[in-house]
Amino acid sequence: MKQKLIVFFKKRETIVALISLVVFGVLLWVDLSTKAWAESTNVRQNAFFLGIVRFYFTKNTGMAFSWFDDNEAAMTVVTIFTVVLIVALAALFFTVFKRNTPARITLAVIEAGAIGNLIDRLALGYVRDMVDVSPLGFGVCNFADFFITFGGVALLVVIAFIGKDALFPLTKKWRDEAKAEEERKEALKAAAESPSEAPSAQDPETPSSEEGNNEPKHDE
């Protein structure tokens, strides 16, 4: 049993899964901690740092960046969609992207943001926001919103360009690996579709009793 555990924890997929779990835990803690700090201090800065961002606590009953604020029907749909998204991302983590390290890390980042906001919405009925980026054309958001947004963009980049499984692999090494993988699949497919040509053993023909009796018959 001990040897099996050692082999399990030495597997690359297991190591990446543990790293992703740590990333998820740290980011979720960052999100919930900053929300708790903003609410307890009711931070309300007047000046924008570099003219684009400030800390300004609000209770958001809408989506990220204060979209659909106070729209109860929309938020019910958003909550259901968030739960479905969380389950879907977890399924992708353990199936489609099981051997894709960058994709698994970005999925962990998105999950941290989605679960952080879901906890607020289910426990409080609103999401705690504190990062005001309204000069950029957005509203007030939180770190979970950043995790979801940037994690989603990063995941699209990974799917499109990073690794041998990408749609358009960037490096020659990844393209060569993708070509070799495709050739291997084609060879396996061809081998599975070709009929078996194993020779079948045939019993030598044995003459029947009538054929074997070649002696002439004499009339009595």
Instruction: Identify whether 145 is a catalytic site residue.
Output: yes
Instruction: Identify whether 69 is a catalytic site residue.
Output: no
Catalytic residue among 70, 129, 132, 176: 129
Q: Tell me the pTM.
A: 0.76
Domain boundaries in the chain? Answer: 9-40+53-180
Q: What is the pLDDT of residue 145?
A: 92
Q: What is the pLDDT of residue 102?
A: 93
When pLDDT is cut at 50, 70 and 90, the band that residue 204 belongs to is low
- The tens digit of pLDDT for each residue in 1-56 reads 656 555 555 578 889 999 999 999 999 999 999 999 999 999 999 999 999 999 99
Q: What is the pLDDT of residue 219?
A: 47
42: left (phi over 0), alpha (psi -120 to 50) or beta: left
- The tens digit of pLDDT for each residue in 97-144 reads 988 999 999 999 999 999 999 999 999 988 999 999 989 888 889 999
Structure tokens at 68: 């659909």
Three-state SS string over the chain comes to CHHHHHHHHHCHHHHHHHHHHHHHHHHHHHHHHHHHHHHHHCCECCCCECCCEEEEEEEECCCHHHCCCCCHHHHHHHHHHHHHHHHHHHHHHHCCCCCCHHHHHHHHHHHHHHHHHHHHHHHHCCEEEEEECHHHCCCEECHHHHHHHHHHHHHHHHHHHCCCCCCCCCCHHHHHHHHHHHHHHHHHHHHHHCCCCCCCCCCCCCCCHHHHCCCCCCCC
Q: What is the pLDDT of residue 177?
A: 86
CB 69: neighbour CB atoms within 10 A? 17
- The tens digit of pLDDT for each residue in 50-109 reads 999 999 999 987 655 555 555 566 677 878 888 999 999 999 999 999 889 999 999 999
Catalytic residue among 132, 145, 176, 219: 145
